[in-house]
Amino acid sequence: MATQTSKQYTLIKKDKAAIVSHLSEATLKAKRRQGDLIEGVHWVRVNSRVVLYRKELLEIWAATRHDPDAHLQAIEEFKRHQKSGTAIDRLAPA
């Protein structure tokens, strides 16, 4: 019987997300609004004022933004983990 391992995704605030992505906080917000960063995949809305980013997906997006096929593979892996219940979000220490 195969064991499913949990894939952990770290949720980070916009200031850390800006560092990870090498973009400003304003540019990250623009990328969200343009749909370049997908809600529920790259970022999650906590409430009307707070957005958290998934660090690992943001890192992959930043590294592969000029190679859409590579990035789509990372998104598909994330979705597979979510469907199987093995994707776990954890908050990064402040």
pLDDT at 94 exceeding the cut of 70: no
- Report residue 25's pLDDT band, with 50, 70 and 90 as the boundaries: very high
Length of the chain: 94
State the total domains in the chain. 1
Global pTM?
A: 0.84
Please check whether residue 1 lies inside any domain of the structure.
no
The average pLDDT across 38-58 equals 94
The average pLDDT across 36-45 equals 94
Q: What domain range is 42 assigned to?
A: 8-91
**CA dihedral of residues 54, 58, 60, 66 (deg, nearest 10):** 150
What does the alpha-carbon distance between residue 87 and residue 94 come to, in Å, rounded to a whole number?
A: 22
Please check whether residue 22 lies inside any domain of the structure.
yes
Please check whether residue 3 lies inside any domain of the structure.
no
Please check whether residue 52 lies inside any domain of the structure.
yes
- Report residue 12's pLDDT band, with 50, 70 and 90 as the boundaries: very high
**CA dihedral of residues 52, 42, 5, 84 (deg, nearest 10):** 110
- CATH code, 61: 1.10.10
Q: Give the 3-state secondary structure of residue 11.
A: strand
- Report residue 45's pLDDT band, with 50, 70 and 90 as the boundaries: very high
Neighbour-count burial for 29-42, b at 16+ CB within 10 Å, e otherwise: eebbeeeebeeebb
Please check whether residue 2 lies inside any domain of the structure.
no
The average pLDDT across 28-49 equals 94
pLDDT at 7: 81
Strand order in the sheet with 87-91: 43-45, 51-54, 7-12, 87-91
